[in-house]
Structure 1
Amino acid sequence: MTWALFVAVVFYSIAHAQVNVELRGSGSANKFPIVVANFEGPNGAEIANIIRADLTRSGQFEVKSTGDLTLGANSTPDWAAISQAGGTTVAYGTVNGNSVDYRLADAAQQSQLDAKNISEAQMRRLAHRVADAIYEKTTGVRGIFATRIAYTTGRQLVVADADGEGRKVVASSSSSLISPAWSPDGTRLAYVSFEGGKPIVYVQNLSTGGRTVAANFKGNNSALRGLRTVVSLPWR
């Protein structure tokens, strides 16, 4: 199962400070029909909305509506209502502070497919991780909803959630920044800056905010070759 046939990334102006990421998949006949109930507990409806948006954006799911249905982890789903809505599976759960007891069930068999307790300090990331669990259990492919993207907007280096939300500027410059590339552990970003009058490769530490020079060679093309070297060789 592939993630998508087409990826569209729409960059708004810096003033809007937003990126919309849309993944388009195949037609509805090939999608997994699912009901995502509002989760029980604080922010349960908001978490469910984020999960619905993630699954819809993947292009692999057709999210069915059952109105304001709320189901906790220990609830017994109304199987008839879920089937009538067109869902073959139903996702539901209970929010307990920074964790979710999540369930995924088969509506036809009236049986549980998956049950996990997922913890995360940030609410949106918590919802993305639940969506990842649903995606992987349904498709057999690891989800990417809880991952991050990096991009440049002229003179800023920006990190955001995979859906474009949670935008954070991690580096700014008086000159153009281009070509961000992640370290394997996701803690650093390499990028090219022209602030020295030529392309220089820097590595930005996302935890400390500090940066170091990774490549500063003579000529205009050497730094770009240096970026490829930084990315392809093991990070130190």
Structure 2
Amino acid sequence: MRRLLTLLFCLAAAPLAAQDTTEFREGVRLGVEYQPGVRPGLIVLPGPGLDSLRAIVRRDLDYTDRFEMITVADAPGSTSGSSAGDGGLNYGIYKALGAQMAVELGEAAGGVAVRLHDLNLSRVRNQQVVPLPAPAETGYRMEAHRLADEITRWASGTVGSAATRFLFVADGRIYRIDSDGADITPLTAAGGTALSPVWSPDGQRFAYTRLESGRGAVVVHSLATGTNQTAPGTQTALNITPAFGPDGRTLAFAHSDESGTDIFTSNVAENCCAQRLTVGRYADNLSPTFSPDGRRIAFVSTRAGPPQI
């Protein structure tokens, strides 16, 4: 246990050394630069009602970093003038503000009517009526994020990532938070000690290490049912850094005892079949990560001395 804690400290304090010992005499510096005008200007149009929805969608579109967001407190919505397009908006005014696209949200039977206007072509590029829960309902914010992701796809060709939630640990509890930093929700009880939370591929479960009574089991928690399942092979000793396989059935983790730390897998779908993958006596192997096809696992190891991947 002491050696494992020392290893974790070393990983935090020093960079990992690759097994390839080739020396590089010249470094390569990578950077991303944005030039003015490269990102298209986009405006979320004001309108009656739906203020909270507009705020969420506007923030999500801004966080994609794909658009120059045009913010006008009271942008005009008049249809007067020769530049009014088939969407019923005065496109010329919004173009003068630097926008190439405009998002229009309005109340509709069964949900929200969404339009993406192409200001340069003076026409509606995409439109759809989207079901949306009431703002007081639990799923409202996530559906708003999904709407923003779809608008991002309309405008850029690639779906957004706003409908993403993160897991983090604070004061021994696991919390869930939306991608925009809102809707923080505790998922484990107070008074315990939880570590290393990780989502299942479908986002309906998460696994984590629960420390208690001198050991650490890997627990799989279902968000739908609220039930907990102890992963096979983790009932004894210290088990950390769980990782789901792409199929959501297999869970890899590091099992640590006095002889060392090794990588195991178990079938959490059938609650069976714990299997040891590494045999590194008096070495530490931890932090497994599956390849996208689930056929390989990368992990950190001290079998050759310093921590390596």
Q: Which interval holds the TM-score relative to the shorter structure?
A: 0.7 to 0.9
Counterparts in 2 of 1:174-189, with a 5 A limit?
A: 174-189=191-206
Structure 2 counterpart of 1:55: 61
Unaligned runs of 5+ in 2: 1-31, 78-85, 134-138, 250-268, 270-309
Q: Which residue is 2:284 aligned to?
A: none
Amino acid across the alignment from 1:177 = A
Deviations 1:142-198 (A, max 9, x none): 211122222221311111221121111111253421211111221111111112322
Contact 2:173 2:192 in 1 (8 A): no
Q: Conserved in 2, the CA contact under 8 Å of 1:174 and 1:195?
A: no
Structure 2 counterparts to residues 73-152 of structure 1, below 5 A: 76-96=88-108, 99-121=111-133, 122-152=139-169
* Equivalent AA in structure 2 for residue 199 of structure 1: G
**Shift in Å at residue 75 of structure 1?**
5.6
CA spacing shift, 1:89–1:151, aligned 2, 3 Å: same
Aligned partners of 1:26 and 1:59 also within 8 Å: no
The whole-number CA distance in structure 2 between the counterparts of 1:146 and 1:98 is 21
Structure 1 equivalent of residue 40 of structure 2: 32
Q: CA deviation at 1:212?
A: 1.3
**CA–CA distance in structure 1, aligned partners of residues 88 and 74 of structure 2:** 16
| Aligned counterparts of 2:216 and 2:144: Cα–Cα separation in 1 | 39
Q: In the alignment, does 2:240 pair up with 1:224?
A: yes
Report the equivalent of 1:6.
none
Shift of 1:101: 0.9
Give the partner amino acid of 2:226: G
Question: 1:113-169 CA distances to partner (integer Å, 9 max, x unpaired)?
Answer: 111222232442333222111211222222111222222213111112211211111
Q: Could you tell me whether the CA contact under 8 Å between 2:87 and 2:123 is conserved in 1?
A: no
Matching residue's letter, 1:100: V
In 1: Cα distance, 2:40 partner to 2:112 partner = 23
2:51 equivalent among 42, 45, 56: 45
Q: Name the CA distance, whole Å, in 2 between partners of 1:233 and 1:127.
A: 28
Q: Give the aligned partner of residue 234 of structure 1.
A: 248
Letter in 2 for 1:115: Q
Q: Taking structure 1 as reference, are residues 50 and 166 closer, same or farther at Cα in structure 2, changes over 3 Å only?
A: same
Which residue of 2 is the match for residue 9 of structure 1?
Answer: none
TM-score normalised to structure 2 length: 0.60
3-state SS of 2:52 partner: helix
Aligned partners of 2:217 and 2:236 also within 8 Å? no
Equivalent-residue separation in structure 1 for 2:246 and 2:171 (angstroms): 25
**Deviation, structure 1 residue 224:** 2.4
Q: Mind listing any 5+ residue stretches in structure 1 that lack a counterpart?
A: 1-24
For residue 155 of structure 1, the aligned residue among 163, 172, 177 is 172
Partner of 1:171: 188
The residue aligned with 2:3 is none
Q: Partners in 1 of 2:33 and 2:161 — Cα distance?
A: 18
1:63-78 aligned within 5 A: 63-69=69-75, 76-78=88-90
**Relative to total residues, which structure has the larger helix share, 1 or 2?**
1
TM-score in terms of structure 1 length: 0.76
* Alignment: residue pair count: 205
How far apart are the structure 2 equivalents of 1:39 and 1:159?
Answer: 32
Aligned ranges for residues 10-25 of structure 1 at < 5 Å?
none
Q: Report the Cα offset of residue 28 of structure 1.
A: 5.6
AA partner of residue 210 (structure 2): S
Paired with 1:205 and 1:191, the residues of 2 have a C-alpha distance of: 12
Equivalent-residue separation in structure 1 for 2:169 and 2:76 (angstroms):
40
Q: 1:231, CA displacement in angstroms?
A: 4.2
Q: Percent identity?
A: 23
Change (3 A) 1:75 1:141: closer
Determine the C-alpha separation between the residues in 2 that align with 1:134 and 1:26. Answer: 24
